[in-house]
Copies of this chain bind each other. A is one copy, B any other.
Amino acid sequence: MKLIIAVVQDKDSNRLSKHLVKKGYRATKLASTGGFLKEGNTTFLIGVKDDEINDVLDIIQENCRSREQTVSPVSVMGGNVDSYVPYPIEVEVGGATVFVLQVEQFHQL
């Protein structure tokens, strides 16, 4: 038995939840901020059997992996006219920080 602690961006959180449930995994979500990723992230606690680790890591990677996203000028502009970019730009979004811990005892009460 292992405990997977995964810190993911809020924007990937719902999609990850859905794909975990679809495959029969149960997770608890903790509200979290800052640090490993930018502001606005969610920490998942997922209890798994040893032979399920790789499957869950795949699900996290598929739904949260770091990727480029095209952002239109309006989105990056903010209130600052000087930073106006007159063409779409690529920004990095997503990503996950994952810890796998050994579980000594697991109980469902």
- Seen from chain A, the residues whose Cβ lies within 8 Å of a Cβ on chain B are 1-3, 5, 7, 17, 20-21, 26-37, 41, 43, 45, 47, 53, 57, 60-61, 64-66, 95-109
Contacts and interface: CB of A to CB of B under 8 A. Distances in A.
- This chain: how many copies in the complex? 3
B28 A60 contact: no
A79 to B, nearest CB: 25
Which label, helix, strand, loop or mixed, suits the secondary structure of the A interface?
A: strand
A48 to B, nearest CB: 11
Contact of A3 (B35, B66, B99, B106): B99
Given A30-B43, A36-B28, A104-B101, A95 B66 contact: no
B35 A32 contact: no
